[in-house]
Chain A
Amino acid sequence: MPDTLDTHVRFGSNSGQPITRRDGRAKVTGGATFAADNSPDSVLHAVYVPATIARGRVTALDTAAAEAHPGVTHVVTPQNRPPLQGDPSDKPTMFSFRFEALQDDTVRYAGQPIALILGETLEAATEGARLLNPRYEIATPRTGLDEAAHYTFDPDAFGKPADTVHGDPEAGHAAAAHSVDVTYETAPQYHNAMETHAVVASWDGDRLSLDMPSQALSMTCAGIAYYFGIPAENVTLRSPYLGGGFGSKAIPTGPYVLAVLAARMTGRPVKMMLTRQQMFGPVGHRGQTRQRLRLGTDAEGRLTVLDHAGLSATSTFDDFIEPAANASQGLYAAGALRSTHSAVRLDVGTPGPMRAPGEASGSAALECAMDEMAETLGMDPLEFRLRNYAETEPGTGKPFSSKALRECYAQGAERFGWADRPLQPGQMRDADGLRVGWGMGTAFFPCPMFMAEANATLRADGTAMVETSAADMGQGAWTALAQIAADSLGLPLDQVEFRAGHSGLPDAGVAGGSGHTATAGSALHAAGGDVIRQLGEIAAADPDSPLHGAGNAGFTARDGRLYVAGDDSRSDAFADILARAGGAEVSGAGSASRAPEAAEAHAMNAHGAVFAEVKVDPDLCQMRVTRLVGAFAAGRIINPRLAESQLYGGMIWGLSFALHEEARHDPARGHIVNADLAGYHVPVNADVHGLDVISVHEDDPYVNALGVKGVGEIGITGTVGAIGNAIWHATGKRVRRFPIRIDDLLGD
């Protein structure tokens, strides 16, 4: 084991076990309390009125009609909105967005809040909102990528990706014996977590209490506090469960601030729960992109250049530029690499991070372009990828901290039966006459760490309590983090009380970037280590302990006992050590972030390979994904059962990206015409068949002490391209936009 790894614990007693979710019982009995499940006494219901046009001005509202409706208590418009202490156009944190909170009568996108109704009942507030009957001065909306000027920008930490160039791309193009130059488009997509955004807010003096789903509790408190002129520590946020997040619940948006404002204005608790339709507007989305990929190879199929230019849509008032072109960095061994980004301002809500932001859209285009290149070369797509396999990070030459991609390719291809694939498209039919196609794509995702803190307390009875403000949006933090914590303390899982989901706990950072288990887990691991270290000092100094004087040898902890390292004959029970020390508790703290020297020395990514089979009805051009095999290597897997669910989930998101999800704007008014679940297609159970996930073993001594990379997002990457490529293989038709529609296949 490398000496970077903290060796006070033995993995495998808890970590690595496929235990069921610790919050499972709460979730199957209805006992898991989501934000809107809270109904404090005297709560008022808040409903905001969304703009039904995308660009223009509100000219009239029937406030009197709404006020007259029985049960309506307040009608808030830009004319009477109480002031905020922080300007919604500011960016108080690095990750803040500008938003609308009834500053003025301008409409910048459809779905923007233009008024707020409060009522004694939800029914009254809802009807009051309808009665406002807004009238508009309508300006021509811009919702397509060519309806406004394209621009470039200076990079910024969040939302404005930097361009990256390695080598000489022009020389790479000039040297190419074969090349492709293709442009792919991806549609706007909306997160649509099953739990719509919801908040219950109440004030006590200048202290604010919030029940709301949050992927980043500490940052959310700081963000909200800014707008109300209070210190962040005055905000108490409870977010024990999130009904899905997918990136949309990390940064507070306008509706949340309006609900908090309403609570302060009325002196009563206020509940707001967005409707499904309201999920298509002020709460972020994956912006549409157009990506041009120019690839060149030498005569043998080695990439001389991989040149990826992305155009991403953002709003008229803020920048979140989907960093799609970055997906071409770090994966294939090209002689030259270039990723550039430009943007266009449209009359849409500001996009934001949505599961694999940049990586998903970028991988979709990249993996299809790679397939087109392989086709041009007359080469098997997997062989082409292996020909360009990067042994070190392309461009920088850094070694990878670990990279089992070759094994992913091999195991995935074997399970799928890839070797039997005909090279030419249109060759396969099933027994019912459906066209069959096989495609593949490489999955690729960075494994970042953020910053997190945790505490651990070993109680006198030998049990422990650990705490960190982690967020579980379904990925399994309640379970996986507790497993890590238990290992760090050398205790069985049921001896460890795990506290999370509350802002009063040590900051666990953000549940995003697939880095939460790695980051919060590392903090818990360090906190446990701190406790064990202190316990060892107590025992070593205690003449009555079998461990007396063994401090220099070091200790390991397991099953509630400390052992002298390398000498199992000498051990002492936690509870006995503490009892002799007077029944004291031992508390420890830990923090975590990526070690800068490790980040400097190694490139760190998770990898995978996805293989797809599609069937296409020759009469109807209806497409169905009939098999998906994904093999992924993502470092240490803390809980195989939950990790598999994450990978399945990511792959189906990829399927949905490839074939289903697209918000469509009305050209005249600019609103989204399919802003509900009967028009915006997310997969249902019958859409999902033949899924297979392979977890490829990978030890990584550098990413963090746990060896954890993260599995939350990688499943989307690779999958979209694999399905697009399979549709080509079935039909011979290259469709260069996602989602692929039936119309795109007609007419052949």
Chain B
Amino acid sequence: MSPSISLTLNGEARDIALDDPRVTLLDLLRERLALPGTKKGCDRGQCGACTVLVNGRRVNSCLTLALTLDGAEITTIEGLAADGTLHPVQEAFIENDAFQCGYCTPGQIMSAVGLIAEGRAGDDPERIREGMSGNICRCVAYHGITLAVQDATRSMTPLKKEDAA
């Protein structure tokens, strides 16, 4: 069996032949598809640097064999501002200085996008901290990250706020 998968990657349909069944989504992106924006921090699912969206949900790409993703829709950090306009989460990360070295940032941002889509944290800082705790930042920009997720959540859901008022 010659392994191959079809998936939608950052909005584009792709057929990908895999030379090795061991390839994780993370190594597929970084080493074979020239999308190194997704970062490797531990390769064990312990740090969240490799977070991407699979079918709109955040997953650790290092814990996902590429072969299990046939038919999946995948969004990486490179696909978030594809048209050149920053996503509100990206804007908020810059504005709130929600990163320093920037290495965990793609994972943090994808995780934040996933968190906001889940719709359960709202702009409650405690829930945001809990919901973002799978993503380690060694520069510990957590203060800014929490503020950024709050800001982005508010900017993305203005109507809900009015409803609540």
A interface residue numbers (CB < 8 A to B): 20-21, 23-34, 36-37, 39, 121-124, 127, 192-196, 241-246, 273, 275-276, 472-476, 641-642, 644-646, 648-649, 652-653, 656, 676-678, 682-686, 688-689, 691
Contact = CB atoms under 8 A, between A and B. Distances in A.
Contacts of A476: 100
Contact of B129 (A20, A642, A686): A686
A480 to B, nearest CB: 12
Nearest to B78: A30
8 contacts: A25-B86, A193-B138, A195-B101, A473-B100, A645-B97, A677-B42, A677-B46, A686-B133
Interface in B56-96: 76-78, 80-81, 86, 90, 93-95
Contacts of B77: 28-30
B117 interface: no
Of A121, A473, A645, A689, chain B has the most CB atoms within 10 Å of the CB of A645
A666 to B, nearest CB: 19
A474 B102 contact: yes
Contacts of A276: 41-44, 46-47
A31 B37 contact: yes
A241 B133 contact: no
Interface in B20-51: 20, 22-23, 27, 30-31, 34-44, 46-47, 49
Contacts of B80: 29
Nearest to B131: A685
Of B23, B81, B133, B143, chain A has the most CB atoms within 10 Å of the CB of B143
Contacts of A192: 138
Given A648-B140, A677-B44, A685 B97 contact: no
Contacts of B106: 28, 30
B145 A649 contact: no
A682 B44 CA distance: 16
Given A27-B99, A241-B101, A685-B132, A649 B38 contact: no
B153 interface: no
Interface of B: 19-20, 22-23, 27, 30-31, 34-44, 46-47, 49, 76-78, 80-81, 86, 90, 93-95, 97, 99-106, 109, 128-130, 132-146
A168 to B, nearest CB: 43
A123 B31 CA distance: 11
Given A28-B86, A28-B99, A676-B46, 15 more contacts: A28-B77, A29-B37, A30-B37, A36-B36, A39-B30, A123-B27, A194-B49, A242-B101, A276-B44, A652-B142, A677-B41, A678-B44, A685-B142, A686-B130, A688-B129
Nearest to B23: A123
A193 B102 CA distance: 11
Contact of A473 (B20, B23, B101): B101
A28 B36 CA distance: 13
Of A124, A241, A244, A473, chain B has the most CB atoms within 10 Å of the CB of A244
A29 B78 contact: yes
Contacts of B37: 29-31, 37
Nearest to B47: A677
Contacts of B39: 34, 194-195, 243
B54 to A, nearest CB: 17
B92 to A, nearest CB: 9
Closest 4 CB pairs between A and B? A30-B37, A243-B103, A474-B100, A474-B101
A20 B102 CA distance: 13
A649 B101 contact: no
Nearest to B79: A30
If over half of A's interface residues share one DSSP class (helix, strand or loop), that class is named, otherwise mixed; here it is: loop
A123 B94 contact: no
Nearest to A271: B31
Nearest to B36: A37
B27 A244 contact: no
Contacts of A36: 30, 36, 40
Contacts of B41: 194-196, 276, 677
B102 A32 contact: yes
Of B22, B46, B102, B136, chain A has the most CB atoms within 10 Å of the CB of B102
Contacts of B31: 39, 121-122
Nearest to B137: A194
A142 to B, nearest CB: 29
B138 A28 contact: no
Contacts of A656: 140
A392 to B, nearest CB: 35
Contact of A649 (B19, B103, B140): B140
A365 to B, nearest CB: 23
Given A244-B139, A276-B44, A29 B86 contact: yes
Given A30-B38, A122-B31, A244-B103, A194 B136 contact: yes
Contacts of A275: 42-43
A23 B40 CA distance: 20
B60 to A, nearest CB: 12
Given A29-B81, A276-B46, A677-B42, A653 B140 contact: yes
Given A30-B78, A121-B20, A682-B136, A475 B102 contact: no
Contacts of B93: 24, 28
B138 A682 contact: yes
Contacts of B137: 194, 685
Contacts of A195: 39, 41, 101, 103
A432 to B, nearest CB: 15
A195 B101 CA distance: 9
B102 A241 contact: yes
B141 A645 contact: yes
B75 to A, nearest CB: 11
B128 to A, nearest CB: 8
A683 B109 contact: no
Contacts of B141: 645, 648-649
A39 B34 contact: yes
